[in-house]
């Protein structure tokens, strides 16, 4: 679909076309002026192009940026509202961008909204259109953003080398700046029309995690284990719709999602800048000590209570609970729309799960994640609770995990020996030792 679209082909939509996400530059001194002046110039130019490329009525916002709103009351709510309603997210890549907690929160909130739309089949195409504000080392980008493609502009290498900031500041590159910004506006409009990302619920800003790990931390890992039946292993009277041929096909929220829960969870964890390994409990070896690559990282087990109807899976869960480290937590989806979860057998299985996994469930309730193991009723609730469980599990790992020295011979720590006072200006400094 091109950048132009007939008005009769779509319902009126006066939402902002884009949310401009950028890292605020601190002033270098009292006379430095507005360090983000050129970002505002870019924003105004994009809005002018988008008004020309679309049929937005007069007075409708073409875009949103948070300039001069942080000192006023209610700015977190306004920020969250625009993240939940804008059609396209435009992050301005720069080295400072990926160290900004605020930019990380904006990225995560919008990406979570895209994942929810993807799970419901509403918007399978990405609505992120990144742009280079300054040159960045793509090899140093966080894992959570490496799947996002940065388009070359018509100015090609000059754009990659200088970024939009370089193009706008250098007079000899003014034409390249105009071409780059117009092409960016076209991509924003095209992405908005192709994606048709539906509005979401505003996310509380203070509770939104960052998609970028703190500076100075190494790679972060999570192991996600799924305990659920398959379609051919559930009891005959159990509705088989949530299940597939493989454990990882389990989709407890099938009334609102078209994707397996493990795929949704994996993408969500990756968007928090973690590396994630997904496995089925059926593939674990019961009774055996897990390898160091498994035991030496935080873990989350996502449990379907209907797995307890199979004696072997029930035994596996019991062994898993007995050998789980303090940094292994759990989430128990219990779909509100699945009436069998709330019938007599469903209530019995919920009670049985308490007896099979007492250690993990008790630790979760004594920590920050009791609501994760009390039956997560909807996909929206699962999407909100998972980042909290990831954070809690990681804290437990840092608190309790044994520090292991790297392999190799252990060398004693160097010690200073008593070699006497340093040479002074006394007689011993003179030739022959004479004064």
Extract the tokens encoding 112. Answer: 């979570």
Residue found by looking up tokens 């742009």 in the block: 131
Question: In Å, how far from its chain's centre is CA 199?
Answer: 19
Q: Using CA atoms, how far apart are residues 164 and 426, in angstroms rounded to an integer? A: 68
CA proximity to 272, closest of 400, 391, 407:
391
Q: Using CA atoms, how far apart are residues 79 and 83, in angstroms rounded to an integer? A: 6
By three-state DSSP, how is residue 423 classified? coil
pLDDT at 405: 46
Which alpha helices (DSSP H) does 283-378 contain, by range? Answer: 292-295, 311-323, 344-356, 358-366
Residue found by looking up tokens 């003014």 in the block: 174
Non-local (6+) Cβ contacts of 4 within 8 A are: 53
pLDDT at 102: 93
pTM, 2 dp: 0.81
pLDDT at 155: 56
pLDDT at 430: 39
Please identify every stretch of the chain with a pLDDT value under 70, giving residue numbers as ranges. 1-12, 68-73, 123, 152-156, 215-218, 285-295, 402-435
pLDDT at 132: 94
pLDDT digits (tens, 9 = 90+) for 3-43: 444 444 555 678 899 999 999 988 877 777 788 999 999 99
E strand map for 48-109: 63-64, 88-93
CA proximity to 87, closest of 129, 116, 44, 41:
129
pLDDT at 141: 85
C-alpha dihedral, 68 to 36 to 214 to 299, nearest 10°? 70
DSSP class per residue in 188-246: HHHHHHHH-PPP-PPPPSTTPPPSSPPTT----EEEEEEE---TTTS-TTS--TT--SS
Non-local (6+) Cβ contacts of 385 within 8 A are: 331, 369, 371, 372, 376
- Give the 3-state DSSP-derived string for 236-298, with helices as H, strands as E and coil as C: CCCCCCCCCCCHHHCCCCCCCCCCCHHHHHHHHHHCCCCEEEEEEHHHCCCCCCCCHHHHCCC
Residue found by looking up tokens 């493609």 in the block: 149
């Amino acid at each position: 679909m091109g950048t132009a679209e007939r008005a009769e082909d779509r319902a009126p939509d006066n939402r902002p076309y884009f949310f401009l996400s950028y890292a605020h530059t601190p002033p270098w001194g009292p006379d430095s002026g507005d360090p983000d002046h050129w970002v505002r110039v870019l924003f105004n130019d994009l809005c002018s192009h988008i008004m020309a490329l679309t049929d937005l009525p007069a007075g409708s916002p073409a875009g949103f940026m948070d300039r001069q709103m942080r000192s006023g009351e209610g700015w977190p709510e306004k920020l969250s509202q625009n993240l939940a309603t804008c059609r396209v997210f435009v992050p301005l890549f720069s080295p400072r961008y990926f160290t900004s907690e605020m930019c990380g929160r904006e990225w995560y909130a919008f990406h979570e909204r895209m994942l929810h739309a993807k799970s419901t089949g509403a918007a399978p195409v990405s609505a992120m259109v990144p742009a280079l504000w300054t040159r960045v080392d793509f090899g140093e980008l966080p894992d959570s953003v490496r799947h996002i493609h940065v388009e070359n502009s018509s100015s090609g290498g000059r754009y990659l080398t200088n970024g939009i900031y370089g193009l706008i500041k250098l007079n000899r590159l003014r034409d390249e700046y105009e071409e780059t910004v117009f092409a960016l506006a076209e991509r924003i409009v095209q992405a908005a029309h192709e994606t048709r990302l539906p509005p979401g619920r505003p996310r509380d800003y203070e509770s939104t995690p960052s998609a970028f790990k703190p500076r100075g931390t190494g790679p972060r890992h999570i192991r996600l284990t799924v305990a659920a039946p398959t379609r051919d292993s559930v009891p005959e009277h159990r509705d088989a719709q949530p299940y597939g041929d493989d454990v990882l096909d389990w989709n407890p929220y099938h009334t609102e999602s078209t994707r397996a829960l493990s795929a949704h969870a994996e993408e969500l964890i990756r968007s928090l800048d973690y590396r994630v390994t997904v496995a089925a409990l059926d593939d674990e070896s019961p009774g055996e000590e897990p390898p160091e690559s498994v035991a030496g990282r935080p873990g989350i087990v996502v449990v379907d209570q209907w797995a307890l109807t199979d004696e072997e899976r029930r035994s596996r869960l019991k062994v898993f609970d007995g050998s789980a480290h303090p940094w292994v937590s759990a989430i128990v989806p219990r779909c509100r729309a699945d009436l069998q979860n709330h019938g007599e057998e469903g209530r019995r299985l919920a009670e049985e799960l308490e007896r099979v996994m007492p250690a993990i469930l008790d630790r979760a309730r004594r920590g920050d994640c009791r609501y994760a193991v009390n039956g997560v009723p909807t996909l929206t609730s699962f999407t909100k609770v998972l980042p909290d469980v990831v954070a809690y599990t990681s804290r437990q790992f840092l608190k309790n995990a044994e520090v292991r020295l790297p392999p190799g011979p252990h060398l004693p720590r160097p010690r200073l020996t008593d070699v006497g006072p340093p040479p002074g200006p006394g007689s011993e400094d003179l030739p022959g030792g004479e004064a």
